[in-house]
Amino acid sequence: MTETRTPLRRHTLPVIAVLTAVVLIWYAAAVWLNAPQVSERLEGIGEPWGWRELVNGTWSMERPVLPAPHQVADNWWTSVFDTAVDSPRSLIFHAGVTLGATVLGFALGMALGILIAIGVVHSAVLDRGLMPWIIASQTIPILAIAPMVVVVLGSMGYPPLMSKAVISMYLCFFPVAVGMVKGLRSPDTLQMDLMRTYNASAVQRLFKLRLPAAVPFLFASAKVAMATSLVGAIVGELPTGAQAGLGARLLSGSYFGQTIQIWSALVMAALLGVALVAAVRATENATNRLMGARA
Amino acid sequence: MAAPPSSKASNATTPAVVASGLSLVFQTADTPVTALSNVDLTIARGEFVSFIGPSGCGKTTLMRVIADLEQPTAGRIEVNGTTPEQARLARAYGYVFQAAALYPWRNVLRNVLLPLEIIGIPAAERRERALKQLALVGLEGFEKKYPWQLSGGMQQRVSIARALALQPELLLMDEPFGALDEITRDHLNEQLLRLWERTGKTVIFVTHSISEAVFLSNRIVVMSPRPGRIIEIIDNTLPAGRNLDVRETPEFAAVAHRVRLALRAGHSYD
């Protein structure tokens, strides 16, 4: 009986089941991927060894091919809670740097996407002339233009925050523009005719009909845009030798073969993405309540 | 009352609508479709006129031409002594569509406020005006409800209140009760008649229900399709101040019979 199920059973249990499966597969994969190195080392020692020694070895290497979950968790915990927040070893510090660029890039991308959509909906010239360029812009790999953005904006005296935000904006305006064009065109004929019978101006039609009608489309796009913006900010930190940010942390980890550090930064990036998308969803729910949506 | 721009329009004896030789041909992909053919019609102020006919007879198109939502391809039409466009720009009519077309993100009160916001009525006055219209359609106490919380009949009453909020002299109603059940429809018909008697507005009402047309109207314009044209205009001899019981009388049956004969004549060509 669905209606007698508690929220715990409906939401928490499936999440725990999936998480358990992932952790088990991860441990197994760690054994499998690290086994060649560990068995080589055990052979080198020359003492007899068995499954127990092999498994223990694969789950406790200093630079494993794939670190075990508890190693990543331990590193993550230490760099989040046992490290001063202003230290370059603190994941909070790096996440904060990336968060700033992500949020700024998201805000710029939303603004640009909405403006483009308003232009496209109101002007046939923009509709035909601009959309092909917008689509073309998304076919260029971001890794190819990220260094150029950083160099150009850097030489113009902008801080790294700005160049990362611009890269994020470049990635995330696209879903917003596409979603908003559809949203601004979503009012039906009767709703538009009604505005015509009132002799409403284009601005009134925009603010009293098109924009409210586009809100569900905006939030669907915003969730995609937020996740994309985080990717953009991290990519923006990769090619530049940045000293701070999750991307810089990933890059320095790979320079020095610190796989545990890489994975712990990846976990941080994933958690940051989940939190940011959850924030968009919370804003969406609050907006829906204000707009009288069905509970 | 601010005087309308044209001195002609301020004359109370100017008819609400005058159409002569009005035609409208839609250019479709394969063949042109004649939606209206040579329509002559005069509607005096304060009349309640119904357009009745089968689907495709042009009754909705004629209404949309009056509202400046469609452009005629030939003939002349005047609304309040001006062009339909001038009448629309002067917000001279209220339009009630087949569906309520409420904005789902606005509650009942704010839906009725919408036209008043657009024409720039001050906030305090528009609230007062909207509440008055909601009372007129019997929806006091529902101001804070959202459209999805209302029945279809209540939604359509909100849309009537919204059309009345502009205080138009002319009310255009396009099958407003077509999607409702018969019991609700009877109830709203009676309410609409009382509303019309109280306000003295001109009402043009599109329907395909004979009993609805006979119950509500002074005059019934019978139309026929392919091409859309007027077959006959029937004066309703039933006395004013009708209630639903009038539908059981022989007089009612006689008028309804005339409408039915005219509708049948419209079909005799095929």
Q: What's the pTM value of the predicted model, to 2 decimals?
A: 0.84
Domain range summary for chain A, segments of one domain joined by + = 7-66, 91-290
Contact call for B115 and A212, based on CB within 8 A: no
- On chain A, the residues whose CB falls within 8 A of the CB of B93 are 197
Q: Would you say A109 and A169 are in contact if contact means Cβ atoms under 8 Å apart?
A: yes
Find how far residue B84's CA is from the centre of its chain.
Answer: 15
Helix runs in chain B, H state only: 59-66, 84-89, 108-118, 123-136, 152-165, 182-199, 210-216, 250-267
* Residue range A248-256: mean pLDDT, rounded: 88
Q: What was the pLDDT predicted at B1?
A: 40
Residue B77 phi/psi, 5-degree rounding, is -145, 135
Q: Is A191 part of the contact surface with chain B (CB cutoff 8 Å)? A: yes
Rounded-to-integer distance, Cα B116 and Cα B130, Å: 8
Q: Would you say A79 and A90 are in contact if contact means Cβ atoms under 8 Å apart?
A: yes
Contact call for A292 and B105, based on CB within 8 A: yes
Is the pLDDT at A218 greater than 90? The verdict is yes
Contact call for B101 and A191, based on CB within 8 A: yes
Q: What is the mean pLDDT of each run of 10 residues along chain B (270 residues)?
A: 44 84 88 89 94 89 94 93 92 92 95 94 93 89 94 92 91 90 88 89 93 94 90 89 89 93 74
Is the pLDDT at A223 greater than 50? The verdict is yes
Q: What was the pLDDT predicted at A295?
A: 63
- On chain B, the residues whose CB falls within 8 A of the CB of A287 are none
Q: What was the pLDDT predicted at B2?
A: 45
Rounded-to-integer distance, Cα A146 and Cα A37, Å: 37
Q: Would you say B100 and B158 are in contact if contact means Cβ atoms under 8 Å apart?
A: yes
Q: How confident is the model at residue A30 (pLDDT cuts 50, 70, 90)?
A: very high
Nearest CB neighbour to A208, from listed B107, B114, B146: B114
Q: Is A294 part of the contact surface with chain B (CB cutoff 8 Å)? A: yes
Q: What was the pLDDT predicted at B11?
A: 58
Beta-bridge partners for B23: B74
Beta-bridge partners for B18: B42, B78
* Residues 201 through 260 of chain A touching chain B, CB cutoff 8 Å: 204, 208-209, 212-213, 215
Q: How far apart are the first and last CA of chain A?
A: 21
The interaxial angle of helices A124-137 and A160-184, nearest 10 deg, is 130
Candidates B19, B14, B21, B20; CA nearest to B81 is B14
Contact call for A194 and B118, based on CB within 8 A: no
Better pLDDT: A216 or B239: A216
Substitution target in A194, A196, A219 with the highest count of B β-carbons within 10 Å is A194
Contact call for B118 and A208, based on CB within 8 A: yes
DSSP assignment of B80-116, as one string?
TTB-HHHHHHTT-EEEE-SS----TTS-HHHHHHHHH
Contact call for B107 and A292, based on CB within 8 A: yes
Contact call for A208 and B166, based on CB within 8 A: no
Chain B residues at the A interface, defined by Cβ less than 8 Å, are 67-69, 88-89, 91, 93-95, 97-99, 101, 103-107, 114-115, 117-119, 146, 148, 166
CA distance A154 to chain B (A): 45
Nearest CB neighbour to B115, from listed A198, A292, A294: A198
DSSP assignment of B160-186, as one string?
HHHHHHT--SEEEEESTTTTS-HHHHH
Candidates B188, B170, B172; CA nearest to B180 is B188
The tens digit of pLDDT for each residue in A38-58 reads 888 888 887 888 888 889 899
Nearest CB neighbour to B101, from listed A194, A196, A215: A194
Nearest CB neighbour to A199, from listed B91, B94, B105: B91
**Whole-Å CA distances, A48 to A40, B50, B79, B89:** 13, 101, 104, 96
Q: Is A188 part of the contact surface with chain B (CB cutoff 8 Å)? A: yes
Q: Would you say B205 and B133 are in contact if contact means Cβ atoms under 8 Å apart?
A: no
Find how far residue B54's CA is from the centre of its chain.
Answer: 17
Sign of the C-alpha dihedral computed for residues A86, A92, A98 and A104 taken in this order? negative
Strand order of the sheet with strand B74-79?
Answer: B32-43, B17-27, B74-79
Q: How confident is the model at residue A196 (pLDDT cuts 50, 70, 90)?
A: very high
Sign of the C-alpha dihedral computed for residues B127, B129, B135 and B138 taken in this order? negative
Q: What was the pLDDT predicted at B9?
A: 44
Q: Would you say A131 and A192 are in contact if contact means Cβ atoms under 8 Å apart?
A: no
Residue B92 phi/psi, 5-degree rounding, is -85, -10
Nearest CA in chain A to B68: A197
**A91-290 fold:** MetI-like fold (1.10.3720)
- Cis-peptide, bond into residue B32, ω within 30° of zero: no
Rounded-to-integer distance, Cα B161 and Cα B139, Å: 9
Q: What is the DSSP letter of A11?
A: I
Q: Is A189 part of the contact surface with chain B (CB cutoff 8 Å)? A: no
CA distance B118 to chain A (A): 6
The ipTM value here is 0.85
The tens digit of pLDDT for each residue in B87-99 reads 999 989 999 999 9
Rounded-to-integer distance, Cα A62 and Cα A260, Å: 8
